[in-house]
């Protein structure tokens, strides 16, 4: 088996490590915010957790929708359709403009009505100003995402990683300056962290787009020969991507819903949840790197009409995602207290967060498998049924069972996390089975005839 999948493991590592570095860089921006804000007090920490839960619940719709760009670009590249890749880049940017407008309006409405969520008054007040500043950077975050997805789809994954790491360093510096008031700037606390994050997103978006336009490695794939299919590709991004966005929405929504319910038990519990979920997010981002690499390889194989490569690339991605998460489960199980100590020494918060990491160790395996499965299914443009599976996993199994365990089994926030674990396990099983089944059923004979006719007509 190792010899069969070894070439695919190498390709996945080559593609995924810059994506993983970039993904971890994005998460580390959140980690930096939480660690630096956590030095203030539990109220600021709870507000940061609440704000990020609301913010990413909505913006993940845009980010998830734009993940369709990379497999669509990979498929076009595999079929040597350079005009299509060029149009996908431009339509991806337009899609980010449309998405940012809708998302910005929704976030503004939610920010002005935070009382709907029933959080403590002091937490709500701090959250409102922070959310406004985060929302100001949404447009640039989605522009960066669209350009990054285009580059990743061409298997050029390093530039976005380098830009993200530079953005991380910029964010940490300006966090330090604006949160604590350095170099003559006023100490703005949580509001300062929001300003630093939005400034970082502006810098990253401009850098990524300029790099794509200026670097000659993209030249072949950016030349538009025929604009007539632009609108159809714009629609295709939403047809494939919007269900993907909904998948992320229901997943992030489940964790955001969990954060809101945990907030009802107290702000110390919410702070503990935020620390644990922040740590778990780092390992999840590695899994998303394998997922993205798998999506690209599967999409390219689909474009070449190579069923064997498509199946092997998907399976190799699943093996790598599962293997990595086994290691992370062990780290969480035996290093939980050490990891939490980097965030807080609060005697009320730290023990609860350490206990949550023990539960997180259980769902690492499921989380890795379901994440990679979603990516490789996206590579074959299968997004609708996976969306239904995601809804059932989180909102029929995860959240209800978690609330029952928290409320009626007196497990408090631990019960909610056990519920999330159950939902992730269901999702991992159903999604991985679906890829194995769907990839086997692919028949490219009709597609090859159609492609041959297209080549003849072009000639």
Cα–Cα separations (whole angstroms), residue 439 to 149, 220, 373: 23, 30, 12
Domain segments of the chain as ranges: 2-452
CB-CB contact of 451 with 303 (8 Å):
no
243-296 pLDDT, tens digit each: 888 888 888 778 778 887 888 888 788 888 888 887 888 888 888 889 989 999
104-157 pLDDT, tens digit each: 999 999 999 888 887 778 888 888 888 999 999 999 999 999 999 999 999 898
Other Cβ atoms less than 10 A from the Cβ of 146: the count is: 29
Angle at 211 between CA 87 and CA 95, to 5 degrees: 35
Eight-class DSSP state of 394: I
Cα–Cα separations (whole angstroms), residue 231 to 91, 156, 213, 237, 454: 8, 25, 21, 10, 20
Q: Report the alpha-carbon distance of residue 67 to residue 150 in Å, rounded.
A: 9
Task: Say what the pTM is.
Answer: 0.78
Residue ranges of the alpha helices (H) in 112-157?
Answer: 121-136, 138-153
Q: Up-side HSE of residue 193: CA atoms within 13 Å toward CB?
A: 27
427-453 pLDDT, tens digit each: 999 999 999 888 877 765 444 444 434
């Amino acid at each position: 088996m190792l010899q069969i999948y070894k070439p695919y493991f190498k390709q996945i590592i080559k593609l995924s490590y810059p994506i993983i570095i970039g993904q971890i860089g994005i998460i580390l921006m959140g980690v930096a915010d939480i660690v630096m804000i956590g030095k203030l007090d539990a109220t600021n920490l709870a507000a940061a957790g609440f704000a990020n839960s609301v913010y990413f619940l909505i913006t993940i719709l845009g980010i998830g929708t734009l993940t369709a760009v990379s497999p669509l670009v990979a498929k076009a590249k595999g079929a040597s359709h350079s005009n299509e890749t060029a149009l996908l880049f431009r339509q991806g940017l337009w899609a980010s403009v449309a998405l940012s407008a809708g998302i910005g309006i929704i976030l503004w409405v939610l920010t002005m009505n935070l009382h709907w969520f029933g959080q403590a008054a002091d937490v709500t007040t701090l959250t409102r100003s922070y959310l406004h500043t985060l929302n100001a950077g949404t447009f640039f975050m989605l522009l960066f995402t669209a350009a990054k997805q285009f580059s990743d789809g061409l298997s050029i994954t390093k530039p976005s990683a380098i830009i993200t790491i530079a953005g991380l360093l910029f964010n940490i510096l300006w966090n330090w300056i604006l949160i604590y008031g350095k170099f003559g700037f006023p100490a703005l606390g949580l509001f300062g962290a929001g300003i630093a994050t939005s400034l970082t997103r502006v810098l990253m978006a401009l850098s990524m787009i300029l790099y794509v336009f200026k670097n000659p490695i993209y030249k072949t794939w950016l030349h538009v020969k025929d604009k007539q299919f632009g609108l159809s590709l714009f629609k295709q991004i939403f047809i494939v991507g919007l269900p993907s966005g909904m998948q992320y929405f229901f997943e992030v929504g489940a964790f955001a819903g969990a954060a809101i319910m945990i907030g009802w038990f107290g702000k110390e519990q919410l702070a503990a949840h935020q620390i644990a979920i922040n740590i778990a997010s780092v390992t999840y981002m590695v899994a998303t790197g394998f997922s993205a690499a798998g999506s690209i390889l599967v999409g390219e194989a689909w474009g070449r009409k190579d069923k064997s490569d498509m199946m092997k690339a998907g399976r190799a991605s699943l093996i790598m995602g599962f293997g990595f998460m086994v290691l992370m489960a062990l780290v969480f199980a035996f290093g939980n207290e050490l990891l939490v100590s980097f965030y807080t020494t609060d005697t009320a918060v730290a023990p609860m967060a350490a206990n949550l990491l023990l539960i997180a160790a259980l769902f690492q395996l499921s989380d890795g498998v379901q994440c990679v499965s979603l990516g490789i299914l996206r590579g074959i443009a299968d997004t609708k049924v996976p969306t239904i599976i995601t809804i059932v996993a989180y909102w029929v199994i995860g959240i209800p069972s978690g609330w029952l365990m928290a409320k009626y089994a007196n497990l408090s926030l631990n019960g909610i996390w056990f519920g999330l674990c159950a939902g992730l396990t269901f999702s991992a099983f159903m999604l991985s089975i679906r890829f194995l089944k769907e990839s086997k059923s692919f028949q490219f004979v009709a597609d090859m005839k159609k492609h041959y006719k297209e080549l003849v007509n072009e000639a």
